[in-house]
């Protein structure tokens, strides 16, 4: 797992919970508060983070890519060759790529990813890092 994105109504309450209660380390928090990045990140471990998506972003995003009300999406990390094979399988099975490929932030910095839905409409991001 690379990252999980949670849609957030009350950012400060969520930050307090995940930092103070859960004990996760914040990343990009200063940049978020100064408006330099659109959302803060909380590190679970070396390979996995939680992104907290502010309401104005997930409301805007829902018009383009339909995520669930609380769990916006989850992201699975692939090696580039595996990612290319996945894209071919998605095409072969007529699974629509709803967004991407695009360069986006994740647990290891900027990576290339696509978004698509499973049969129950859960939004999945598939990513690789260069």
pTM of the model: 0.70
Q: Residue 122: give its domain's CATH number.
A: 3.10.180.10
Question: Of the ranges 20-24, 103-107, 112-116, which one carries the lowest mean pLDDT score?
Answer: 20-24
Confidence of residue 63 (pLDDT cuts 50, 70, 90): low
pLDDT for the residue numbered 48? 93
Mean local confidence (pLDDT), 115-130: 88
pLDDT for the residue numbered 66? 59
Residue-range definition of the domain harbouring residue 54 = 3-128
Mean per-residue pLDDT over the chain, rounded: 88
> What total of structural domains would you count in the chain?
1
User: Residue holding tokens 């990390």?
Assistant: 77
């Amino acid at each position: 797992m690379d990252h999980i994105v949670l849609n957030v109504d009350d950012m400060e309450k969520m930050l307090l919970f995940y930092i103070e209660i859960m004990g996760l380390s914040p990343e990009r928090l200063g940049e978020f508060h100064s408006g330099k990045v659109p959302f803060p990140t909380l590190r679970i471990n070396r390979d996995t983070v939680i992104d907290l998506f502010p309401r104005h972003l997930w409301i805007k995003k829902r018009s383009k890519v339909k995520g669930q009300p609380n769990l916006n999406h989850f992201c699975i990390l692939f090696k580039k060759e595996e990612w290319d094979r996945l894209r071919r399988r998605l095409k072969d099975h007529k699974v629509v790529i709803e967004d991407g490929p695009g360069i986006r932030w994740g647990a290891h910095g900027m990576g290339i990813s696509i978004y698509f839905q499973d049969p129950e409409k859960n939004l999945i991001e598939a990513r690789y890092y260069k």
